[in-house]
Amino acid sequence: MSSSKPDPQAAGEGTSSALQRFLDILEYVGNKFPSPFTLFISLAVAVLALSFVFEGASATYIGAGNKQITVKVVNLINVSSFQSFLADMVKNFVSFPPLGLVVVMMMAMGIAESTGLVTALVRRVLLNVPSWGVTAAIMCLGINGNLASDAATVFMPAVAAAVFAGMGKNPLVGMSVAFAGTQAGFSANFLPAGTDALIAGITATATKILPQTVNSPVHVLINYYFMSSSVIILTIVGTIVAEKVVAPRLDRFMPYMQLDAYTQSHELTPEEKKGLKYAGWTTVIYILLLLAMCIPENGWLRDPKTHELVPKSPLLSGIIPLIFIFFVSVGMAFGIGKGVIKSEADIPKLMANGVSGSVSFIVLAMAASQFIAWFTKSNLATVIAIQGAHFLQAINFTGIPLVIGFMLLSGLADFLLISGSAKWVFFAPIFVPMFGLLGYEPAVVQAAYRVGESITNPISPLNYYIPVMLGIITHYVKSGEKKIGYGTIIAAQLPFAFWFFIAWGGWLVFFMLMNWPLGPGAKIYL
């Protein structure tokens, strides 16, 4: 009787094929979903139908002064609602809070991106970091890359792979680290970004559904303390995972590598160096001016009555214009130094480049704004939130388990719809008031959503940047030498997603246990 040992390679192929089948199913189901625009039009129509079916359905909650308040579903399929729709459609769109915030931020970032400031800064840092710190630097820069929105997901992995190749290291590891940073750590940042403005704008609309949260602070910085500190946590965890888990796995591709290092092509030009010097001095001057308006008791950016900076002040209410001025100033300084900006006429052109990148969101905002307006007017959002809060209280599913559960729900939603803003448009009107009834500030709900939604980005088969990663790989591993596909990339990203959830989710739980504010004036509990 002879015995045979299992073939590890065959077993690995079996596991790989099973993973591929699973990913294929997810991709197939996800691709059957309509575009976000069509989805919100469909949801708006569904709201009309549901308001008709559930007309009169009610929910009761305790308001101010222990007063019992009952809310009923309003039928929107009638003459007055139709006339109201015609009268309010444009107003709903124009008054949609994220719309103006996003357009203003994109105009500012248009200058920074179009002049090449962001890419030059990344290359300046990466090409001057000692070898032992390269992985950490790539992770940190990738996480902060959402300043450049989705553009970072394109250039960061390519530059990181080139830097690794130039050092004789596995470029696939550099690419994976950068991809994990830009995608799994998408919401974290040292500086407020367009994402903060977009998400906060949607949250602001949801706070108006129930009186519990109507006076809650909602501004671009409500998650700033948490998100900026998260950069450090994720950088440390991501670096360890990359070196101890991901690198050994991807090193099996090293025999097939074509390490024709092209790091030289990423060296800064003399013009870019001059531009960075101009941008650096502009940043210093701007910070000094900002401090001069914040530090004195009667500073221009302090509350004129209380002389405080939090929870309310001109600093917080004017944070978007201040960020706009900063990026425009720094972008202009870099552009002048580099020679890209030759006259004042170039500035509006560069701003227009930024706005063009937000056109798809503007179109989406038309549909999303109508959905939210109808959802709110029908009282469906309110009734669902109240009944949901009652149910969670009844089963004692509150506190930290609830927040963890919501993070998981946000992450799982990535496998059906990849757009973070689109999911938040749907989630916010339900969960912000629901958590409010349970005693939590909108800042907590928003933070939990951003953590969960970000972590699963790189492992979603619907992520349209995975083909971009495959394109980078083909530069180093020629077709036919070693089979690499979606499964390879997602398998390399799974360790990042898992440990980011443990570390980042744990960091949010720690904030809750310590009752630390998530941002200026943004408490944990109402």
Summarize the confidence of residues 77-93 as an average pLDDT: 92
Mean per-residue pLDDT of the chain: 85
Q: What is the reported pLDDT for 15?
A: 47
pLDDT digits (tens, 9 = 90+) for 192-204: 888 888 899 999 9
**Of all residues in the chain, what percent carry a pLDDT higher than 90?**
43
pLDDT digits (tens, 9 = 90+) for 205-228: 999 888 888 889 898 899 999 999
Q: Which residue has the higher pLDDT, 96 or 3?
A: 96
pLDDT digits (tens, 9 = 90+) for 265-309: 567 889 999 999 999 999 999 999 999 999 998 899 998 888 888
Tally of CA atoms within 13 A in the half-sphere of 502 that contains its CB: 9
pLDDT digits (tens, 9 = 90+) for 40-76: 899 899 999 999 999 999 998 876 666 788 989 999 9
Q: What is the reported pLDDT for 295?
A: 92
In the structure encoding, which two tokens stand for residue 477, read together? 């591993």
382 pairs with which residues across the strands? Answer: none
- Confidence at 355, pLDDT banded by 50, 70, 90: confident
Cα distances from 350 to residues 146, 332, 360, 406, in angstroms, run: 19, 10, 18, 40
Does residue 6 surpass a pLDDT of 50? no
pTM tops 0.85, yes or no: no
Distance from C-alpha of 155 to C-alpha of 448, rounded to nearest angstrom = 28
Closest CA to 27 of 472, 463, 488: 463
Does residue 231 surpass a pLDDT of 90? yes
Does residue 505 surpass a pLDDT of 80? yes
Summarize the confidence of residues 145-164 as an average pLDDT: 80
Q: What is the reported pLDDT for 251?
A: 84
